[in-house]
Structures are given as C-alpha cells and as structure tokens.
Amino acid sequence: MARRNKLMKFSELISFPNVYQNFDPKKPKIVGVDLVEVDLKGKWASNHFKNGNPIVLELACGRGEYSLGLSEMFPNKNFIGLDIKGARIWKGASIALNSKLSNVAFLRTKIEQVNLFFEKDEVDEIWITFPDPFLKDSKENRRLTSPAFLERYKQILKPGGTINLKTDSPELYQFTQEVLANSADVEILYDKDDIYKDALDYPELELKTYYEKMHLLDNRLIKFMKFRFI
Ligand SMILES: C[S@@+](CC[C@H](N)C(=O)[O-])C[C@H]1O[C@@H](n2cnc3c(N)ncnc32)[C@H](O)[C@@H]1O
C-alpha cells in the first residue's frame, strides 16, 4: 500500500501547478504541469510567481515546513523548496495548494544541480534545514555545507545574501564551522549550538520541521548558523 501511495503521489505531482521536476540529472531540464518543459532559470519571480519579490530557497526541504512557515511570515517573498524525494515534496506542495499559499513552489532535483536552474544573483537567501550529516569521512563531499556546495550557492546568491543552517548534528555543525573558518570570503553572522537554551534570537527559528520534531523528542540540541559571502 505504501508503494501504491507513493506512485499515486508521483502521478499527482505532475498536475500540481506549484511543482517542477528534473528527472535526469544529466539533462538540465525541468518540467511542470503535464510534464511540459519550462525554462525558469533567471525567471522564477517573473514567470512563476508573477512578481518581482525576493527568492528564498530551502534546500533539503523534505516536506517543506520552512518554506510553508516562512511564506506565511513573509508574504512579500517567494519561497522554493528543493528536494529529490517526490513523496515529501507532494506533502508540502499539497499543503501550499490547499492553503492557497501562492508564494511557495517546489523543485524536485538534486541540489548538486541547483546552478542549472537558478541564474547568478537570482537568490536572496538560502535555508538548509536538517540536512543529512553524511557522517562517514568518505561522504564528506555530500554534506550540504562542504566547499563544493558553498561554491554553488555563492554563484546563485545575490551579494550579501545569507545562508541559514539549522541542524541537530554536532558532527555537521563542527564540520561547517571548520569549513567556514577556512573560507576567506565568509562572514559568520550568527552561531549558536543550542538555540532553545535562551529566548530565540530570530522568530523564524520557532518553525519546526518533521525531522526537528523527532530530534527534539530525542533530546538533541538544535544548532543554528547564519553566514554570508563577502
Ligand atoms: C534529514 S531530511 C530533512 C528534511 C527536512 N528538511 C526536515 O527537516 O524535515 C534530508 C532531506 O534531504 C534530501 N536530500 C539529501 N541529499 C540531497 C541532494 N543531494 N539533493 C536533493 N535532496 C537531498 C533528502 O531527500 C531528505 O528529504
């Protein structure tokens, strides 16, 4: 039944006006409703959202709780959740449609491909919410705050655009601190290893994702870093 549900979700995704998908990482092509190919690179605000508002990406969005929550907090910004898992995106996209949140969209792709679908300086802000920590050293390059990923983000972020990382993983947190310390062109704006110890410094941190809720039940400490390229 679970498999059938997944297949049903995949076929429904094709009818969602707020979902775009890339099915072949070797081909820089995304499709929207009815699998019609679209070119949104550099045109997300004008052609999808039909406005000139800032673009915020949520990477590894899963069910997109941050994109959904932030879209209500900031109706004058556009939010795009990226993840490779269609069934998770289906959940976030369904909520956005049912709640008539027109400033949220989803892109199903590998984050390694992000530069294929966003133009230089197109993005104002990035959130990375509870990414897989890839604990084995051999998988270090897959961590979403590894130097190769940061270089991708740098290309699409506007000058001064911020990157926000929320994680429960001490290993990923320490790894990120080390990567940033070794980056000559990064300014760390905020760094806290236990955000719920005191009153929250940013109201956005009140939002909790599916994984964050599980980690909190497990008494794990939630860490947050905000930084930008200079
Ligand atoms: C631990 S889950 C977190 C999901 C969500 N942010 C949350 O907190 O509930 C990590 C997510 O990253 C996605 N992911 C991991 N590596 C990815 C990649 N290279 N490209 C796209 N998505 C990726 C997975 O599909 C998964 O949904």
Beta-strand ranges (E) seen in the chain are: 19-21, 30-31, 37-38, 55-59, 78-83, 104-108, 123-129, 157-167, 186-192, 223-229
Name the residues annotated as catalytic: 132
Beta-strand ranges (E) seen in 26-115 are: 30-31, 37-38, 55-59, 78-83, 104-108
Question: What residues make up the domain containing 177?
Answer: 2-229
User: What SS3 state is found at 160?
Assistant: strand
- Can you tell me the distance from the alpha carbon of 193 to that of 137, in angstroms, rounded to the nearest whole number? 22
Q: Spell out which residues line ligand 1, taking CB within 6 angstroms.
A: 60-62, 83-85, 88, 110-112, 129-132, 209-212
Give me ligand 1 centre to Cα 52, in Å: 28
- Can you tell me the distance from the alpha carbon of 85 to that of 137, in angstroms, rounded to the nearest whole number? 24
Give me ligand 1 centre to Cα 132, in Å: 6
- Please tell me the predicted confidence (pLDDT) of residue 137: 86
Ligand 1 atom nearest to 166, measured from its CA? 8
Give me ligand 1 centre to Cα 111, in Å: 9
- Can you tell me the distance from the alpha carbon of 138 to that of 199, in angstroms, rounded to the nearest whole number? 38
Tens of pLDDT, residue by residue over 44-95, are 999 999 999 999 999 999 999 999 999 999 999 999 999 999 999 999 999 9
Helix axes 86-98, 2-13, angle to 10 degrees: 60
- Please tell me the predicted confidence (pLDDT) of residue 2: 63
| For residues 105-130, average pLDDT | 98
- Please tell me the predicted confidence (pLDDT) of residue 209: 98
- Please tell me the predicted confidence (pLDDT) of residue 77: 98
20 touches 13 (CB < 8 A): no
Q: How many domains is the chain built from?
A: 1
| For residues 194-216, average pLDDT | 98
User: Pairing relation of β-strands 157-167 and 123-129?
Assistant: parallel
Question: HSE-up of 115 (CA within 13 Å, CB side)?
Answer: 10
Residues sharing a CB contact under 8 Å with residue 46, sequence separation 6 or more, in sequence order: 52
User: Pairing relation of β-strands 19-21 and 104-108?
Assistant: parallel
Ligand 1 atom nearest to 109, measured from its CA? 21
Q: Please name the residue that has the structure tokens 């009815």.
A: 34
Taking phi over 0 as left and psi of -120 to 50 as alpha, with beta for the rest, 11 belongs to alpha
Pocket test for ligand 1, best of 83, 107, 113, 220 (most atoms within 8 A of CB): 83
Provide the CATH number for the domain around residue 218: 3.40.50.150
- Return mean pLDDT, the chain: 96
